[in-house]
Structure 1
Amino acid sequence: MKLESKAVIQIQKPIKDVFQGIVNPEKMTKYFISESSGRLESEKEVIWKFPEFEEEFLIKDIKVQNNSSISFVWDPETVVKITLEKVPDNSTIVRVNENGKEFSEENLNWALENSGGWANFLACMKAYLEYGIQLRKGAYDFMRKK
């Protein structure tokens, strides 16, 4: 049995704006990551850094379908897929699904933590794209190694 982590939210912005908010590192650094070595593009690899962690995360096997979906691997056991759906009021439903880990107690904890993590990602993206608010700023400073 494979475990999956998932989250969903509706953002009151057109699909093209939400898509750019995910693939464009200048926007992503305002609500999710602290640094990126580049834009998310099919067949490219990028490095992400987060303000609360010292390590870097290699993002690979990137597949981008313009204004529709983004998928990538950052954990060799899982694939992250973000899908975008246009809503008649010109807002966008964003779904995040990360799956692939085999069922175990450790991986069950991973699925629960990552579901919360992806929900946080979506809430921070919504706040930034709709209102320019950077919810993540300072939120995880307590996690930094001292």
Structure 2
Amino acid sequence: MKELEIKAALQIRKTAQEVFEAIVDPEKMSHYFISESTGKMEEGISVTWKFPEFEDMEVPVRVIKTTAPKLIIFEWEGAKDELLQVKITLEEKPNNSTLVKITEGKMQATEEGIVWYGRNTEGWANFLACLKAYLEFGINLRKGGFDFMESPE
């Protein structure tokens, strides 16, 4: 059976060091992705992320490797009961820009794997768009973007 692996990429008009810091620093990350973290993403430690649109959701993240400003690798429960590895590479490009590439996976091409593939591919594309909007324009694209997911009172 074929394995599925998520791949997403986007170029950002900031240096690799600026992009790296925006990903590992929870203060910066809270302006485009998470609401809070228990700490900075540093090699060998675990942190917990909270998301603004999911009040009760806490996501444990185990940081495997960080090499500033080129690489971040972590594990998380990317799908129910599936510990998956996420690899973020930063490649410097001309004009102080950086190509950000993300891979996550792998899972079997079962019904569960296909659901994960669609959901998390959308999630990583959103992450990259939000990171770009924040770094280049100071905009938080997530703010209000998931209000439709809140349950009616």
Q: Is TM (by shorter chain) over 0.5?
A: yes
The residue number in structure 2 matching 1:107 is 113
Q: How many residues end up aligned between the 2 structures?
A: 146
The residue number in structure 2 matching 1:22 is 23
Answer yes or no: is 1:42 the counterpart of 2:48: no
Which of 43, 66, 69 is the aligned partner of 2:68? 66
The answer to whether the 8 A contact 1:71-1:81 is kept is: yes
Separation of aligned partners in 2, 1:21 and 1:60: 18
Answer yes or no: is 1:125 the counterpart of 2:131: yes
The residue number in structure 1 matching 2:92 is 86
SS of alignment partner, residue 83 of structure 2:
coil
User: Once superposed, what is the RMSD of the aligned Cα atoms?
Assistant: 1.2
Hey, which bits of structure 1, 4+ residues long, moved more than 2 A? Answer: none
SS of alignment partner, residue 94 of structure 2:
coil
Separation of aligned partners in 2, 1:98 and 1:145: 29
More strand per residue: 1 or 2?
A: 2
TM-score (norm 2): 0.91
Change (3 A) 1:145 1:71: farther
SS of alignment partner, residue 119 of structure 1:
helix
The answer to whether the 8 A contact 1:5-1:111 is kept is: yes
> Unaligned 5+ residue runs, structure 1?
none
The residue number in structure 2 matching 1:51 is 52
The residue number in structure 1 matching 2:33 is 32
Letter in structure 2 aligned against 1:23: V
Q: CA deviation at 1:62?
A: 2.8
Q: CA deviation at 1:143?
A: 1.6
Q: CA deviation at 1:61?
A: 4.0
SS of alignment partner, residue 109 of structure 1:
helix
The answer to whether the 8 A contact 1:77-1:100 is kept is: no
Separation of aligned partners in 2, 1:116 and 1:6: 10
Q: CA deviation at 1:141?
A: 2.0
> Unaligned 5+ residue runs, structure 2?
none
Deviations 1:38-94 (A, max 9, x none): 000000100000012212000014311110010111114310000000002220000
The answer to whether the 8 A contact 1:51-1:141 is kept is: no
Separation of aligned partners in 2, 1:143 and 1:38: 27
